[in-house]
């Protein structure tokens, strides 16, 4: 898009704050949907074939006669009936959970600089940013970061300097880095600083 009325990058960046967040990204769930579709298609096709065979004055398939016989004779409190019912309930709850939850847990939604823009940051990338910022500080030997939607858990190991000084520097630097990620929900920083074990 070009012309005098086309929005520039500066204008998009300066968009009003009511653009809101990107919201969770929904996963397509192709594999579970494909499995359910194939199973339903196979079951419906087999049942339809058996019904047509019965209408053509042939015997019903043996599996359907056996199933009807078992269902007619087994009481409702039979262990196999309860097990089958529990399995059906578990599968139904699993499908409902897949349908009602967005998935893509590895993506952290970002703030929207413009209403037409949606963006997300991978957890590994966000953790790498915090790790790099922490390693730039003096006295930090190693850093381990676990990034979640609501919390950034950071464990740093210091090999010199006072732990309180290192912790204060890390707290300031990582808080700024977390806000700089531009996430919709700013994670809470959970910081732990320990002294490196002495060798020998």
Residue 170 has pLDDT above 50, yes or no: yes
Q: Residue 78 has what pLDDT? A: 84
CA distances from 92 to 5, 108, 122, 175 (A): 52, 28, 30, 42
Q: Residue 16 has what pLDDT? A: 43
pLDDT confidence tier of residue 99, bands split at 50, 70 and 90: confident
Residue 169 has pLDDT above 60, yes or no: yes
Neighbour-count burial of 88, counting CB atoms closer than 10 A to its CB (0-12 exposed, 13-18 middle, 19+ buried): exposed
pLDDT tens for each residue of 70-95: 778 888 788 888 898 899 899 889 88
pLDDT confidence tier of residue 166, bands split at 50, 70 and 90: very high
Q: What is the pTM of this model?
A: 0.61
| 71 vs 178, higher pLDDT | 178
CA distances from 81 to 72, 78, 93, 94 (A): 11, 5, 18, 20
Region of 197 (left: φ > 0; alpha: ψ -120 to 50; beta: rest) is beta
Q: Measured on CA atoms in the order 13, 18, 19, 23, is the torsion positive or negative?
A: positive
Q: Residue 20 has what pLDDT? A: 60
Residue 14 has pLDDT above 60, yes or no: no
**Per-chain mean pLDDT for the chain:** 82
């Amino acid at each position: 898009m070009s012309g005098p009325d086309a929005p520039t990058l500066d204008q998009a960046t300066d968009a009003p704050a009511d653009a809101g967040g990107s919201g969770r990204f929904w996963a397509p769930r192709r594999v579970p949907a494909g499995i359910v579709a194939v199973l339903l298609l196979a079951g419906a096709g087999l049942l339809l074939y058996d019904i047509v065979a019965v209408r053509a004055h042939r015997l019903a398939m043996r599996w359907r006669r056996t199933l009807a016989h078992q269902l007619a004779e087994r009481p409702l409190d039979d262990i196999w009936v309860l097990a089958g019912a529990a399995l059906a309930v578990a599968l139904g709850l699993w499908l409902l959970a897949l349908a009602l939850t967005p998935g893509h847990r590895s993506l952290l939604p970002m703030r929207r600089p413009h209403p037409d823009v949606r963006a997300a940051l991978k957890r590994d990338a966000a953790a790498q940013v915090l790790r790099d910022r922490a390693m730039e500080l003096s006295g930090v030997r190693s850093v381990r970061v676990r990034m979640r939607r609501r919390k950034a858990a950071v464990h740093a190991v210091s090999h010199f300097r006072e732990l309180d000084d290192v912790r204060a520097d890390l707290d300031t630097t990582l808080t700024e880095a977390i806000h700089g990620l531009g996430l919709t929900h700013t994670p809470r920083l959970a910081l732990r600083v320990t002294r490196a074990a002495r060798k020998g």
